[in-house]
Amino acid sequence: MAAYKKMLSSGLAWLWLAIIVILVDRYTKIWVIHHLTFREPLTILPVFDLTLAYNTGAAFSFLHTASGWQNWFLGGLALVVSMVVIVWLKKLPARDYWMNIALCLVLGGALGNAWDRILYGYVIDFLSFHWHAWHFAIFNIADSAICIGAFMIFFHWYKYGK
């Protein structure tokens, strides 16, 4: 009982947010696998499509042409980052909303993409923004959560220096 109370008083009480990120990420990826054709855009807005893509690399397809070692490296990196984040959450008080939310977004996103790497050997991407002939890298919910969480962490460090 004491361990449970300690968990609820730490940042671990926010793990539900990471679980929501993972569930939304999984649901959307399963949906696009079943409803979209690979690399055929489904136009939603003049600047936004849903386009099923498989990314064997990292952000912006960095390392996508490597021989396969990158999947193990990136998947392992995601798991190491996840362990670091869990330890960090354990040390934070639950009332430190901003950092707990940021860390859980990063955690959920890292685990969502690691899940893809383990299950498929690549990450499923589908959110595609463009302007005329210019196209931003295709990404997913997990990538979005990681970016928002990382921005929140850097903003916190910039504003408070800790």
Residue type, position 1, single letter: M
Q: Give me the residue label for tokens 């793990």.
A: 15
Phi-psi region of 136 (alpha: psi -120 to 50; beta: other; left: phi over 0): beta
Residue 143 burial (C-beta neighbours within 10 Å; 0-12, 13-18, 19+)? buried
Tell me if residue 25 is catalytic. Answer: no
Q: Residue 45: count other Cβ atoms within 10 Å of its Cβ.
A: 7
Q: Which of 25, 49, 116, 125 is catalytic?
A: 125
Residue 24 burial (C-beta neighbours within 10 Å; 0-12, 13-18, 19+)? middle
Which of these, 91, 104, 96, lies nearest to 6 by C-alpha position? 91
Q: Which of 25, 49, 116, 143 is catalytic?
A: 143
Tell me if residue 96 is catalytic. Answer: no
Computed from CA positions of residues 37, 41, 45, 48, in that sequence, does the dihedral angle turn out positive or negative? positive
- Catalytically active residues are 125, 143
